[in-house]
Amino acid sequence: MICRFKYLFLIGLIGQEVIRFPHRKRHRQEWREKRMAETRTRPFDVALDMLAFTGMELIPILYVFTPWLNFADYALPAWASWIGMAVLAGAVWLLWRAHADLGRNWSPTLQILEPHTLVTQGVYQYIRHPIYAAVWLTGLAQLSLLANRIAGPAGLLSFLPVYLVRVAREERMMLDHFGDEYRAYMNRTGTIMPRLGK
């Protein structure tokens, strides 16, 4: 049973990469055409991205296809894994919806494209960072689907520093670019969860 959930998690990761692929391809084209109005990406951001990639993709792939981490396996009840599958399905849907709503405004790093519009419809009507929310959900699913003391928590632990560093800088960049319009948007939405009573 554990083996089945490992492969289902891998299928979910592949699905997320399929969602991201056309957006990454378009972004590379826009970079070549120098359509960046502003970039605040630093070398440290690349290091953080590599850390997250290691914990959220590399370690799980290593766990699925090699026995190297099997010494850290433990037993999980089947219900926990089925909940993990539901969470993963929600993460894949949220990632797809966020990219669809964001359209050409998406950038993998701290960049403002030219032209760049403030997206406040779709899932962005409720939360400002649904892609980060999808990553957190994927990390929770990883914890539930990979019953391993290393591979299970690796996604959450490796994404935490990215989230803590990047969200504040991203919000500052959006405030600098959109001003009061973004400040009003912040006041009516949550960061990664909808605001209660709004």
Residue 105 confidence (pLDDT) above 90: no
- Tens of pLDDT, residue by residue over 27-73, are 677 666 656 666 777 788 889 999 999 999 999 999 999 999 999 99
What residue segments make up the domains of the chain, in order of their start? 2-188
Mean pLDDT of 164-170: 93
Mean pLDDT of 5-20: 94
Global pTM reads: 0.92
| CATH hierarchy code of domain 2-188 | 1.20.120.1630
What's residue 60's pLDDT?
97
What's residue 117's pLDDT?
85
Based on C-alpha coordinates, what's the Rg of the chain?
18
**Which range, of 44-48, 148-152, 159-163, averages the lowest pLDDT?**
44-48
